[in-house]
Amino acid sequence: MTNSESAASAVIEPVGDEVVAVDAVTAGYLPGVNILNSCSLVARQGELIGIIGPNGAGKSTLLKSIFGLVKVREGQIRLNGEEITNLKANKLVAKGVGFVPQTNNVFPSLTIQENLEMGLFQKPKGLKERLEFVTEIFPELGKRLGQRAGSLSGGERQMVAMSRALMMGPHVLLLDEPSAGLSPVRQDEAFLRVKEINRAGVTTIMVEQNARRCLQICDRGYVLDQGRDAYTGTGRDLLNDPKVIGLYLGTLGQD
């Protein structure tokens, strides 16, 4: 089977209740330069998966590979048993994949409601229902739908970006550094919101530099190093693993 859009319609019987499966993926931005090197990951129904690792390890590249923004050269990515390797982002959204980038993740000239409507452009008839869903998770936004996104703080923009990605009712939400650039208080709020989204039934895969906080709230974690999944286990196990502590937690995400 080839890694192409024509192959993306192939369906493989999923293992258990896996939602996303990344199988030995090699990917990169430039020809001949790989950022991911035979990287693998599994996210099961309802799980919150945390991805940590040093700068340049390939964490954001992994999310972008799942979302079709980075070319996968080898390996396979599946969603609910269907191969989605290298499928375009708009088609992935329609299939139930939401993605929140770290930066430039809102339309600053549009209101909060207009930003949310942009997240539902493929299914505009569901606006009322989805607005009710996201404003239950983010009640502050429901009171300020007419405010322009450009006037919001960094934490508030992050809420809008996550809400917009939820408007299509995704099976899985990909979050790239949701706490980046936020004050400690806002970071805590961001992690609480991520947990609320996950509790609402959305399988969540989160890349984070605040490694300790990430491992504290995730069900399972992956430690990436040089484009490979070097360690994996429950969040609690990784927090207490001497090798992970010595190699990564000593320099990542200091509290």
Quick: pLDDT tens for 138-178: 999 999 999 999 999 988 999 999 999 999 999 999 999 99
Q: What does the pLDDT average to over 77-105?
A: 95
Number of Cα atoms under 13 Å in the Cβ half of residue 52: 30
| CATH, range 48-67+89-249 | 3.40.50.300
- Residue holding tokens 């996210």? 43
The percent of residues in the chain predicted with pLDDT above 70, rounded, is 92
Q: Where do the domains of the chain lie?
A: 48-67+89-249
Give the pLDDT score at 122: 87
- Look up the pTM and report it: 0.90
The percent of residues in the chain predicted with pLDDT above 90, rounded, is 82
3-state secondary structure of 79: strand
Residue 3 in this model has a pLDDT that exceeds 50? no
Give the pLDDT score at 252: 53
Q: Encode burial over 160-172: b for 16+ CB neighbours within 10 A, e otherwise.
A: bbbbbbbbbebbb
Distances (CA, A) of 202 to 118, 165, 169: 20, 11, 8
Phi, psi of 166 (to 5 degrees): -85, -10
Give the pLDDT score at 123: 84
**Residue-wise pLDDT tens digits, 198-251:** 999 999 999 999 999 999 999 999 999 999 999 999 999 999 999 999 888 875
**Residue-wise pLDDT tens digits, 7-34:** 334 444 445 699 999 999 999 999 889 9
- Is there a contact between 100 and 67 (Cβ–Cβ < 8 Å)? no
Cα separation of 255 and 232, whole Å?
A: 22
First to last CA, the chain: 45
